[in-house]
Amino acid sequence: MSIPIDLRYTDSHEWARRETDGTVSVGITHHAQDRLGDIVYVESPAVGKQVRQGQECGVVESVKAAADIFAPLSGEVVAANQDLSGAPEKVNQDAYAAWMFRLRPSDPAQWDQLMDAAAYQKLVESESH
């Protein structure tokens, strides 16, 4: 399993990617989608919603289970990936391309609290033993 080194990660298996416009794209990791199985539904937070770091802000449902999506950073949701409402399987096909929502961070210092790829790799390995 490859873990992109340009992203940051949470211990609840979300990834975060800084975009050139200052926003941050958020999705679930390959490890998370692999554990969930076939994704059948994605509910992203509404555009304009204020989220707090660590707050539940969306849901991913699979044939096996439902899982909450947690905000990796505090901020305002500025976009939701509408493609996933009609094709949630895109998360299974490429978890790192299938962003779920974008937010404008209210506290950029929170970025440094997220895990880098090496730390996330250790977390995944510790969970699978």
* pTM listed for this prediction: 0.96
pLDDT value at residue 60: 97
Q: In the predicted model, what is the mean pLDDT of residues 10-32?
A: 97
Locus of tokens 């937010």: 103
The pLDDT confidence band at residue 127, using thresholds 50, 70 and 90, is confident
Check whether 16 has a pLDDT greater than 80. yes
- Token readout for 71 is 């905000």
Closest by CA position to 6, among listed 117, 125, 109, 118: 117
* Amino acid of residue 49: K
CATH classification (class only), 8-104: mainly beta
27-43: b (≥16 Cβ within 10 Å) or e: bbbbbbbebbeebeebb
